[in-house]
Amino acid sequence: MRVLHDFAELPSLPHPLAMAFGVFDGVHRGHVALIEAVLQRAAQMGAVAMVTTFDPHPRKVLAPEQAPLILTSTDHKLQIFSRLGINLALVLPFTRQLSLLTPEDFITAITSRCELRLIGVGHRWAFGHRRVGNVAMLEQLGRSHHFQVMELDPVTDENGVISSTRVRQALSEGRLDVVKNLLGRHFSIYAPVVWGEGRGRELGFPTMNLQPVSEKFPPAGVYAGHALLGSGRAYKAAIHIGPRPTVDAGPSLEAHLIGFEGDLVGQMVELFFWEKIRDVSKFESLEDLVGQIRKDVECAMKIVNLD
């Protein structure tokens, strides 16, 4: 995927563009529907589909005290966009200077530098300084700058509009089945593998240790899941997130990859959470801990189906 980070890079794109605009935190089913709709329209128009998003989340800059805990890092979003078929993204650094652009100036910064055919946005999209720009204004600007506007209706389920807020709430409650329904996939964390303390290997169950950038996680516990490596290989996993009271160690995010042998330090891995196996517990001895880990691995093997 090619990623741009500034309006000034847009003239390097030789093709007409169809852009999906959004923050896309979580890349839930509503976001996916918008991106897929833009991909379809782009193909019909002879344009290249592109996602335009922001880093960090705008509220981190404008109202830090109200900023939500982030579900997906920017690198994670790009991974998901790529799987959806997006090969081009504009990730704009969100600064106070950018927030001061009027809706007209924001759109002109794009249309003056590329051939824009379409902008796709979600329901009630707002943009520009003080969010005074709305879809009606965007359509007016589209007539002036010769691009079309597509506003996608909200995606709903039996409990209402699917949103990042609902995903965060369900994740806080440990309701992974609800999270999966809202996302259209298992919740995952995309992060680099870092050096651990080697305790898992000493116990006979080597683990990879992740250092996530995202901020919102499932509750502490042991989970069944799977890991997707950069090579494209997937492995069933027993995942631990939270404190490690038996060895008097602080919190960690680590996973034992069933059947994997090798070193992943320095690589990016996506870790998917399927189902909680148990809470974090303190065991009387390392032998008891090893026995429980063995049961956790067996449980994960039964729960996770990668066929």
203: its two tokens: 């116990």
The CATH number that applies at residue 102 is: 3.40.50.620
176 found inside a domain: no
179, part of any domain? no
Shared domain for 89 and 206, answered yes or no, is: no
At 202 the pLDDT is: 76
Same domain for 7 and 156: yes
Looking at residue 201, what is its pLDDT? Answer: 80
Residues 102 and 250 in one domain: no
Domain match, 80 and 198 both: no
Same domain, 124 and 25: yes
Per the structure, the count of domains in the chain is 2
Asked if 21 and 121 sit in the same domain, the reply is yes
pLDDT of 200: 74
Query: Is position 46 within any domain?
Result: yes
Residue 29 belongs to a domain: yes
Task: Write out the residue range of the structural domain in which residue 36 sits.
Answer: 2-160
Closest CA to 77 of 106, 56, 48, 107: 56
Torsion of CA 117, 120, 125, 129, to 10 degrees: -30
Q: Is residue 60 part of a domain?
A: yes
Q: Is 9 a catalytic residue?
A: no
Closest of 216, 222, 251 to residue 237, by C-alpha: 222
**Residue 175 covered by a domain:** no
- In terms of domains, do 19 and 99 share one? yes
Helix axes 135-145 and 103-111, enclosed angle (nearest 10): 40
Q: What is the CATH number of the domain that holds 241?
A: 2.40.30.30
Q: Are residues 118 and 265 in the same domain?
A: no
Catalytic site residue from 254, 261, 275, 287: 254
pLDDT at residue 127, as a whole number: 94
Per-residue pLDDT of the chain (307 residues; tens, 9 = 90+): 999 999 999 999 989 999 999 999 999 999 999 999 999 999 999 999 999 999 999 999 999 999 999 999 999 999 999 999 999 999 999 999 999 999 999 999 999 999 999 999 998 899 999 899 999 999 999 999 999 999 999 999 999 999 999 999 999 999 999 999 999 999 999 999 999 877 778 788 999 999 998 899 999 999 999 999 999 999 999 999 998 877 767 788 999 999 999 999 999 999 999 999 999 998 888 889 999 999 999 999 999 999 8
Q: Are 208 and 254 in contact (CB under 8 A)?
A: yes
Helix (H) or strand (E) holding 106: helix 103-111
Return the pLDDT at 216: 95
